[in-house]
Amino acid sequence: MRRKRPLLNWAIAAGAFLVLAIELFPIFITIASGFRRDLDILSAGPFSLKFNLRSWYLVLFKNSEYLGYVWNSVQVAFLSTAISLVTGSMAAYGISRFRFRGRDTLAYSFLVFRMLPQISLVVAMYMMFQAIGARDTIWGLTLAHSSFNVPYVIWMVLPFFSQIDRSYEEAALVDGCSRFQTFRRVFLPLAGPGLVVAAVFAFIMSWNEFLYALILTSTQAKTAPLHVAGFIAADGLKWGQLYAAGTVLLLPVFIFTVTMQKFIVRGITAGGVKG
């Protein structure tokens, strides 16, 4: 394309890695702080080399309730991903394969739905959930998370769906399969990659979510991010434990960022990055 200027390229590389180092410094320092005792962080400064596993031990073994909240997070993320994937892929199939009146409006509405602010819904949800006993339950929070994940999945899978050759479905219909059998047995297996990508994105959206968890849960269905927030405030400054616990939550995010790179641009244009 352009003339090769190897020296310039190395200079750019050096600059780029410097920027990357500065950008990731706050994340690095928090992960490192997870390997310090709460007390050392307050007294020895942020760059001391006194590392130990005390905070990790406290978070994972001594006060093992944290793992219970991680489990809640995992359940909610998996369930809401499952609900969103099933209902979302069905709806996307309908939008992709049928030409019905209001089709475009419906598709665009889902996109708008994805962009609604959670704070505008959460007060009403609190009262609704309180009234029907869904507050502080796994399935209640799962439903709440599905409010952003269902529209999200629809828009994530649409491009994948429309690329799948229709001849297989047509053949199946001719052979006497019902619409739904065709969808389930013929279409979905072909749509595998798209579904996996959508599932991973939906999972991370739910995993990172905080506001719904803050308002709609308290003890039973409390998720890990909410518990992490509790290390600061009421009972003193437990930065070490906060970051040990936080590092556990960062792990899926890290894997997600590295593996989903190819799809991230589409993922965020389908409606923002934050839950």
Partner 1 sequence: MEGGSARTVLPFLAPALAVVFAVLIFPALYSLYASFFDWPLNDASAREFVGLGNYLKLFQDPEFWNSLKLQLGFIVIALPIELVLGFGAALLLNREFPGAGVVRTLILLPVFMLPVLSGFTWRYMLQPDYGPINWIIGALGGKQVLWLNSPTLAYTAVIMQDVWRMWPFMFMLLYAGLTTIPAEMYEAAEIDGASWGQRLRLITLPMLKPTIVTALLLRLIDALRIFSEVFTMTEGGPGSSTLLFSLYTHRQAFSFFKVGLASAMSIFLLIVSVAIAVLIVRKNMRLEEMEKGADS
Residues numbered 246 to 265 that lie near partner 1 (CB under 8 A) are 246, 249-250, 253-254, 256-258, 261, 264-265
Provide the strand spans (E) within 177-257.
none
Q: Tokens 């020296």 label which residue? A: 7
CB 80 within 8 A of CB 206: yes
For residue 90, the minimal CB distance to partner 1 (Å) is 5
Q: Which of 82, 177, 188, 211 binds partner 1 (CB under 8 A)?
A: 211
Q: How far apart are CA 139 and CA 148, in angstroms?
A: 15
According to CB under 8 A, which residues from 25 to 44 bind partner 1? Answer: 26-27, 29-30, 33, 41-43
CA–CA gap between residue 214 and residue 98 (Å, rounded) = 40
- Phi, psi at 251, each rounded to 5°: -55, -55
Could you tell me which of 240, 207, 202, 244 has the C-alpha nearest to residue 226? 207
- Contact pick of 74, 75, 94, 188 for partner 1 (by CB under 8 A): 94
Report the distance separating Cα 264 and Cα 259, nearest Å.
10
- Position among 204, 206, 221, 238 found at the interface with partner 1 (CB under 8 A): 204
Q: Which is nearer to partner 1, 53 or 273 (CB)?
A: 273
51 binds partner 1 (CB under 8 A): no
Is 55 near partner 1 (CB under 8 A)? no
Amino acid letter for position 88: G
Whichever of 220 and 269 has its CB closer to partner 1, that residue is 269
Which residue in 34, 183, 199, 203 binds partner 1 (CB under 8 A)?
183
CA distances from 136 to 3, 68, 96, 216 (A): 62, 14, 37, 6
Residue 36 burial (C-beta neighbours within 10 Å; 0-12, 13-18, 19+): buried
Cβ-based nearer residue to partner 1, 58 or 203: 203
Q: CB within 8 A of 145, min separation 6: which ones?
A: 76, 77, 80, 205, 206, 209, 212, 275
What DSSP letter does each residue of 108-147 carry, written as one string?
HHHHHHHTS-THHHHHHHHHHHHHHT-TT-HHHHHHHHHH
Q: Does 63 bind partner 1 (CB under 8 A)?
A: no
Q: Least separation, in Å, of the C-beta of 14 and partner 1?
A: 9
CB of 35 to partner 1, least distance (A): 14
Which one of 10, 57, 61, 71 is in contact with partner 1 (CB under 8 A)? 10
Q: Does 171 bind partner 1 (CB under 8 A)?
A: no
Q: Is 23 an interacting residue with respect to partner 1 (CB under 8 A)?
A: yes
Asked if 244 touches partner 1 (CB under 8 A), the answer is no
Question: Among residues 215, 217, 222, 241, which is the contact residue for partner 1, using CB under 8 A?
Answer: 215
Q: Is residue 240 part of the contact set for partner 1 (CB under 8 A)? A: no
Which residue in the set 155, 203, 221, 244 belongs to the binding site for partner 1 (CB under 8 A)?
155
Binding mask 114-153 for partner 1 (x = CB under 8 A): -xxxxxxxxxxxxxx-x------------xx-xx--xx--
Amino acid at 200: V
